[in-house]
Amino acid sequence: MNNFYVKGSYRTPEINFDFEQGILSISGRSITENPISFYKHLENLICDYCNAKPKPKTIVKVTLEYFNTSTSKCLVDIFKQLENLHSPTTEVLIEWYYEKDDEEIKDSGEDYKDIINIPFEIKLLT
């Protein structure tokens, strides 16, 4: 599989999926009016990655400074897809980053951690 990269904009996040390393990064802002359309290709790539030969450990790094409610649903869908990959032979870890004074983003991470059944770390951005 070829690596996947989308440059971020004011309304959309940067997405970098390095298949060779097994690292997916989502960062920036996600306030697009149609996040389902925006994230659909990423969801398809995750499906392909899961069905191909995934790395023994896949790390998902999420560093969003702001996202809207519609994006939240898309993130849950992505995390749920990754739950299917997580097994004794293929580990998945989500790293949720937040800035020091951003309790809203931190709390969102806590909410996701409570509903997703894979290792989920909430980390202070340094």
| pLDDT tens-digit series, residues 73-116 | 999 999 999 999 999 899 999 999 999 999 999 999 999 999 99
For 47, 58, 72, 90, 95, the CA distances from 53, given in Å and listed in that order, are 11, 11, 28, 10, 22
- Residue 10: CA atoms inside 13 Å, Cβ hemisphere, count? 0
With 0-12 / 13-18 / 19 or more C-beta atoms within 10 angstroms meaning exposed / middle / buried, residue 4 is middle
Q: Enter the tokens of residue 95.
A: 């790293």
Does the pTM of the predicted model rise above 0.75? yes
How high is the pLDDT of residue 102?
Answer: 95
Would you place residue 1 in the very low, low, confident or very high pLDDT band (cuts 50, 70, 90)?
Answer: confident
Nearest-5° Cα angle at 62, 4 to 65:
115
pLDDT over 90 (residue 7): yes
With 0-12 / 13-18 / 19 or more C-beta atoms within 10 angstroms meaning exposed / middle / buried, residue 103 is exposed
pLDDT over 90 (residue 2): no
4-124: CATH topology: Transcription Regulator spoIIAA (3.30.750)
Return d(Cα 64, Cα 81) in angstroms, integer: 20
For 33-77, what is each residue's pLDDT tens digit? Answer: 899 999 999 999 999 999 988 999 999 999 999 999 999 999 999
